[in-house]
Amino acid sequence: MDPSSTYRRSNRVVNDPTNIPLRCWAEIDLAALERNLISIQANLPDRIKYIAVVKADAYGHGMQQTVARLMQAGVDMFAVANIVEAANIREIGTGWPIIVLGATLENEESFLFEYDLIPTISTIEEVIRLNAKAKAFGKPLKAHLKIDTGMGRLGIWHEYADELFDAFKQAEFIQLDGIYTHFAAADQDPDFTRYQRKIFLESIKRIDWLPLNELLIHADNSAGITTFAPESVYNAVRIGLLQFGIRPYPTSIFAQVETTPIFQFKSRVGIVKNLPNGASISYGRTRILERDSKIAIVCAGYGDGVPLPLSNRGEVLIKGKRCPILGRVTMDQTIVDVTDLEEPAQSGDPVTFIGRQGIAEIELKEFSDWANTISWEVLCSVTKRVPRVYRTAIQTG
Ligand SMILES: *Cc1c(COP(=O)(O)O)cnc(C)c1O
């Protein structure tokens, strides 16, 4: 399939003002993103607000297109890592509250007011700093207080949370808008996750002056909602990976949530050639052929986001069949064994690194395992040389 006819090329691609056909690209199905969102929302109680986590260029899917589609599809809020990402969302559409999940540096503070953003506050020092800033601007600032229940990253350690609540109470210009925590092992350890929930709720219940009905109380990331208790105090979830169709933990609520992966990573065969038994392959000569072979040189390498650990280990799809990677992955090219294909591979043939070809599929999880990493990192590691192309609403109905 020629992607340029079915998909609209991203406008975020730099140095490519031409119509030169693509040799390595990521195909993103925005209609599937919308279906995933609707499916997740349908499985959560109505009162639960959906905070779409779109940090790191929407997990590599492209901030512009992903956020625009999520706005249209009905998310309640967005969460990003920093103020630059938040400012990008403001350029796409107004009206959606945006939470900045990372810490706000002192020299970034004024932009919270300029772009109307909600910072995460973890320390008393931050309350004092931001309160002074808000006072200077003459404008109250909404903020979310974060409690560390076992992640050991942002948030105040739960045993010391009372002091931070006190600081909020005294800060006239800071308006407590929400309280949250983050799970450390929601995809691996449901017991620890339940323990984190327990101490999070205890930390909140100790504070008698909180207007709980007016606050956003949230903890759940994608895997978190496997232990979600619908009757609980939570009224929002923060979903990243699952909306892109990747399931971090296939039990409980995921059994009903139907999602499909929206991301495919593709390239093309450059040349096909014959090599004799005994020939060596790629840098370092880590592979010596043990038979007369037909190899395909694929037009993508680690410069595109094909991880080096896939050397002699990963597979790709060509002509709907799995073909093993031979030798080391190089910056721009990857060598693949096509000897066993019934239908011979040819220059220009589509190659799938992640995604589907006919009934064959390489899932992101399998690709990530070959690379000794996690799905989140793979999505963030497809480089900016790789254009993101989008299935539009019109084309998929
Ligand atoms: C990234 C992130 C999320 C989303 O996590 P997923 O596992 O991708 O759903 C939620 N909350 C915080 C604080 C995050 O950093």
Every domain of the chain and the residues it spans: 3-10+18-22+261-396, 44-244
Q: What is the pLDDT of residue 291?
A: 98
Nearest ligand 1 atom to alpha carbon 376: 8
DSSP characters over 255-317: GT------EEEEEEEEEEEEE-TT-EESGGG-EE-SS-EEEEEES--TTTT--GGGTTT-EEE
Closest residue (by CA) to atom 6 of ligand 1?
240
CA 261 to chain centre: 12
Q: What is the pLDDT of residue 8?
A: 52
Q: What is the pLDDT of residue 11?
A: 43
Q: What is the pLDDT of residue 5?
A: 45
Q: What is the pLDDT of residue 33?
A: 97
In this structure, what token pair is assigned to residue 56? Answer: 């790191």
In this structure, what token pair is assigned to residue 194? Answer: 């339940």
Active site residue 319: no
Among the four given CATH numbers 3.40.50.300, 3.20.20.10, 3.40.50.1000, 3.40.640.10, the one describing domain 44-244? 3.20.20.10
Q: What is the pLDDT of residue 251?
A: 54
Helices (H), 138-253: 161-170, 190-205
Nearest ligand 1 atom to alpha carbon 81: 15
Q: Which of 7, 50, 55, 142 is catalytic?
A: 55
Task: Tell me, in angstroms, the distance from the centre of ligand 1 to residue 251's CA.
Answer: 19
Q: What is the pLDDT of residue 250?
A: 54
Task: Tell me, in angstroms, the distance from the centre of ligand 1 to residue 376's CA.
Answer: 10
Nearest ligand 1 atom to alpha carbon 222: 9
Nearest ligand 1 atom to alpha carbon 59: 8
β-pair partners for 157 = 148
Closest residue (by CA) to atom 3 of ligand 1?
221
Contact 273, 295 (CB under 8 A): yes
Task: Tell me, in angstroms, the distance from the centre of ligand 1 to residue 53's CA.
Answer: 6
pLDDT, tens digit, 9 for 90 and up, residues 312-364: 999 999 999 999 999 999 999 999 999 999 999 999 999 999 999 999 999 99
**Side-chain-facing half-sphere of 25: CA atoms under 13 Å:** 24
**What is the CATH topology of the domain spanning 3-10+18-22+261-396?**
Lyase, Ornithine Decarboxylase; Chain A, domain 1 (2.40.37)
Model's pTM, two decimal places? 0.94
Q: What is the pLDDT of residue 393?
A: 52
Q: Which of 195, 205, 273, 283 is catalytic?
A: 283
Nearest ligand 1 atom to alpha carbon 53: 4
Give the residues of the chain that fall short of pLDDT 50: 1-5, 10-15, 394-397
Closest residue (by CA) to atom 12 of ligand 1?
182
Task: Tell me, in angstroms, the distance from the centre of ligand 1 to residue 6's CA.
Answer: 32
Active site residue 146: no
Integer Cα distance of 82 and 237 in angstroms: 19
Which amino acids bring their CB within 6 angstroms of ligand 1?
Answer: 53, 55, 101, 182, 221-223, 238-242
Task: Tell me, in angstroms, the distance from the centre of ligand 1 to residue 101's CA.
Answer: 9
Task: Tell me, in angstroms, the distance from the centre of ligand 1 to residue 232's CA.
Answer: 20
Q: What is the pLDDT of residue 12?
A: 41
